[in-house]
Amino acid sequence: MDLYIDIGSTNIKWSHGKTAGKIPFPAAFDAAYPRYEVRADEIFSIVLNLIDTHRPRRAFFSVQMHGYVLLKEGREATGYISWRDERGKDLSPDFALTEEYGVRIKPNLPRLSLQAQSVAADEFCTLGSYLVYRLTGKNTTHVTDAAASGFYNVKTGARDSCRYRLPEAVYRVQEAGRYKDTAVFSPVGDQQASVLGAWKGMENAEGYVLNLGTAAQLCCTAEGFAAGDFESRPYFGGNTLCTVTGLPGGGYISRTIGTMSAKALRETLAEAYASALKKLPPRRKIIVTGGVVHYHRILIEETLETLQKEYVLNEGADALAGLKILAEEIK
């Protein structure tokens, strides 16, 4: 029986057979802005306990992206430096990125953040590849996770040079190694897994996906490599997940819901989502996913009505559903 683990920003969710649960994601030990660092071994301990408890035949992971861990001779030299960390905000990049890298230069980009690092280290891990390394000894992950670091050209498959050893980026979800009797599979980006899960049970997987988690993204898939006024994130099957990031999600709503009127909040959300729609290829409808739908359903519905697009609220869809689809394709 397979174990599915989704490592989100708020919770680590898991599913094994007919059982499922969630565990709070560890708190940061350093959250003094612009830093946001979590003890990496605390994250790994949760994952290890889930595997040891359930003893699955196979383990599949989706992980939050844009974070990293540095190693020195195989041991943690830093904590997990989260996507919330913006220590790169005042730095001038010593590199350039084209649209083929699938990510843009921004304060939380790992490649930029590394310019501020002075710790002695020799290896770079994404969160996904760190977990695989701890379980199997191999620093490897799927390109949907790796590309968020800013080191990988997703169109050509080339990997840029770095003063640290970088993870191997694979383009198929495949067995990365073994932990005891469990086959450990290459982790995928949580956004891509959520998008895949959003279409489960629907007749036509064609449209936008508005993923409302702690942060929010609006995206749609395109065949092959596609570029435009969006991030050309890698998707499964060699396709592109055209993505507009930096949209107000659950974190923004929680911070502002008591400080502005409901009307003003709806207008702020609608303006941001409408602007994002204009940047993406045309699609007919919007599938809305994420925990925010459950907690703020009326607000989200009223906001979507102003966009004048057909929409479907699919709050039951999540990254775990996407992982199950990927696992079924491998059997």
pLDDT digits (tens, 9 = 90+) for 51-102: 999 999 999 999 999 999 999 999 999 999 999 999 999 999 999 999 999 9
Statement to judge: residues 206 and 166 lie in one domain: no
Q: 34-69 burial string, b = 16+ CB within 10 Å, else e?
A: ebbbbbbbebbebbeebbeebebebbbbbbbbbbbb
Please indicate, yes or no, whether residues 180 and 196 belong to a single structural domain of this protein: no
Q: Does residue 198 sit in the same domain as residue 143?
A: no
Q: How far is 163 from 286, CA to CA, in rounded Å?
A: 42
| Mean pLDDT, range 223-228, rounded to an integer | 96
pLDDT tens per residue, range 53-64: 999 999 999 999
Same domain, 202 and 313: yes
Do 21 and 87 have their domain in common? Answer: yes
Confidence band of 287 (pLDDT split at 50, 70, 90):
very high
- Are 294 and 213 found together in one domain? yes
State which amino acid sits at residue 261: S
The answer to whether residues 197 and 318 touch, using CB atoms and an 8 Å cutoff, is yes
Query: pLDDT band for position 213 (50/70/90)?
Result: confident
Rounded CA separation 178/89 (Å) = 39
Is the pLDDT reported for residue 235 higher than 90?
Answer: yes
For residue 201, CA distances in Å to 132, 196, 287 come to 31, 11, 12
Judge whether 327 lies within some domain. Answer: no
The two tokens of residue 210 are: 């508005």
Question: Which residues have a Cβ under 8 Å from the Cβ of 171 and sit 6 or more positions away?
Answer: 142, 143, 157, 234, 238
Q: Does residue 224 lie in a domain region?
A: yes
Range of the domain at 107: 2-186
In a domain? residue 9: yes
Residues 88 and 179 in one domain: yes
